[in-house]
Amino acid sequence: MGKSPIIISAREKWFVKNRNILAINERYVEAITKAGGFSLSVNNLPNAEELSSIEEIMDGLLLTGGDDINATCYGETCSTLANNTDNERDKIELLLLKVAIEKNIAVLGICRGLQIINIGLGGTLHQDLYSEWSQKIQHNNSEKGRDYLAHSVELDRTSKLFSIIDKDEFLVNSLHHQGIEQLSEGLIASAVAEDGLIEAVELPNHNFFIGVQWHPEELTSNNPQWLKLFEAFITAASKTSG
């Protein structure tokens, strides 16, 4: 066995026990580890030199879920309905994404991660789906549990995600209240929900570049198909590691 590809993520910030904690949900680390990768978090905004050091070791970029992105990142005023924005995290992730695109490094975006991808490439978000867009499906199900299968998505059979999952319709968990408004140029929508919301994106002509609006890391123990997504990501990251 060769060396484990290094998968970089940005930390979340939590206020716990009277202090700011920089953290990552362990489910991501478990999924990366099971798939054969090694997870490493970036805790603060790197300068140009620090960024090139990260670039040297980054085999894959995992953009994780979390609180809302500040709408100023896509030229809008941040809504009062947006939760716990973290400008430093937004900047770290947008920087890492730019490097990953330039260097053809494998990217997997989950929930907020899919949203960062869309913004990084020039798209916009609905800042609150329920009030701004549609009430047809409940996309925000945090009170029902993180593995609660909330709605179905239909997957484009020509997508890379389809080639990994090998199913064109399935149920997903749904723990978000924001979503893609204007899809950025260059991205293709690979999955949509019944209400028409884009739930997965891909960047063609890249080593590996997939974003999903649901949380596969919460579903791997009940449904092994979701570990396959992480395995495909780590395999692609292995190709750039050396």
- Kindly list the residues in this chain that would bind Mn ion in the complex (CB under 5 A): 139, 174
* Alpha-carbon span 139 to 198, nearest angstrom: 12
Select from 122, 123, 139 the least CA-distant residue to 131.
139
Quick check: 64 and 28 in contact, CB under 8 A? yes
* Nearest residue to Mn ion, scored by beta-carbon proximity: 174
Residue 121 beta carbon to Mn ion: minimum distance, rounded to whole angstroms: 20
* Alpha-carbon span 64 to 72, nearest angstrom: 20
Residue 129 beta carbon to Mn ion: minimum distance, rounded to whole angstroms: 8
Name the catalytic one among 73, 111, 202, 218: 111
Neighbours of 181 (CB within 10 A): 18
Instruction: Give the residue with the Cβ less far from Mn ion, 141 or 184.
Output: 141
The answer to whether the Cα torsion of 138, 179, 69, 220 is positive or negative is positive
Instruction: Give the residue with the Cβ less far from Mn ion, 41 or 127.
Output: 127
Instruction: Give the residue with the Cβ less far from Mn ion, 38 or 214.
Output: 214
Q: Is 78 a catalytic residue?
A: no
Residue 57 beta carbon to Mn ion: minimum distance, rounded to whole angstroms: 33
Quick check: 60 and 233 in contact, CB under 8 A? yes
∠ Cα 165 57 98 (to 5°): 70
Residue 25 beta carbon to Mn ion: minimum distance, rounded to whole angstroms: 18
Q: Is 217 a catalytic residue?
A: yes
Give 107's contacts (C-beta < 8 A, 6+ positions apart): 60, 61, 63, 97, 100, 101, 117, 203, 206, 208, 209, 210, 211
Q: Is 111 a catalytic residue?
A: yes
Instruction: Give the residue with the Cβ less far from Mn ion, 11 or 151.
Output: 151
Instruction: Give the residue with the Cβ less far from Mn ion, 96 or 110.
Output: 110
Residue 102 beta carbon to Mn ion: minimum distance, rounded to whole angstroms: 30
Q: Which residues does the annotation mark as catalytic?
A: 111, 215, 217
